[in-house]
Amino acid sequence: MSWKRNILKTDQRDAVVKAMQPVLYDFIDLSLQLKQAHWCVKGAGFLPVHEQLDDIVESARKASDEIAERIVMLGVAPQGHIQTTATATRLEKYPDTFVNVDKTLTLIADRLDKTIQGLRTAIAAVGEPDPITEDLLIGISADLEKHLWFVQAHEGEAR
Ligand SMILES: [Fe+2]
């Protein structure tokens, strides 16, 4: 589908959507993994981490909505199905068990980092065809990078 009035030329639009769709899959998975972590975190220092994880869920859900709606603005149907996301996500599966606080922080920091790397790849790809999408993704990455700092700040010893 295209809109009657299209912002980008078809080849530009296709390049932008091709860069954004994998990021959407990562964010949908990230939102679900953060909830899994929120439910299963256990042990000393549980409560602030349990609450912090829900703050990140809120950011991740907002980001996935903004990414999907940007794809819509460009005239393409975003793909947000759980079945497709399950195979397309670039994040590793979260454990099935309860997870202690330190391990939870490490697992979440790794997944935030992976999502940010994907975002930064997309940012590099969309800048030339569409600086507006680039701006959106930069804002999303800045927010996620702040969350990564907050998670890493109480993850074990400083290196
Ligand atoms: Fe909850």
Domain range summary for the chain, segments of one domain joined by +: 10-74+81-88+104-153
For ligand 1, the distance from its centroid to the CA atom of residue 99, given in whole angstroms, is 16
For ligand 1, the distance from its centroid to the CA atom of residue 53, given in whole angstroms, is 9
For ligand 1, the distance from its centroid to the CA atom of residue 151, given in whole angstroms, is 18
Superfamily classification of domain 10-74+81-88+104-153: Ferritin, core subunit, four-helix bundle (1.20.1260.10)
CA distance 157 to 159: 6
First to last CA, the chain: 50
For ligand 1, the distance from its centroid to the CA atom of residue 155, given in whole angstroms, is 21
Provide φ and ψ at 95, rounded to 5°. Answer: -60, 155
Q: What is the pTM of this model?
A: 0.95
* Residues 52-86 pLDDT 10s: 999 999 999 999 999 999 999 999 999 999 999 99
For ligand 1, the distance from its centroid to the CA atom of residue 81, given in whole angstroms, is 23
**Distance from CA of residue 23 to its chain's centroid?**
6
For ligand 1, the distance from its centroid to the CA atom of residue 74, given in whole angstroms, is 35
For ligand 1, the distance from its centroid to the CA atom of residue 46, given in whole angstroms, is 12
* Residues 128-153 pLDDT 10s: 999 999 999 999 999 999 999 999 99
CA distance 157 to 82: 36
What stretches of the chain show up as alpha helix (H) in DSSP?
10-40, 46-73, 82-88, 101-126, 131-153
The answer to whether the CB of 50 falls within 8 A of the CB of 34 is no
**What is the per-residue pLDDT for 156?**
64
**What is the per-residue pLDDT for 88?**
98
For ligand 1, the distance from its centroid to the CA atom of residue 4, given in whole angstroms, is 43
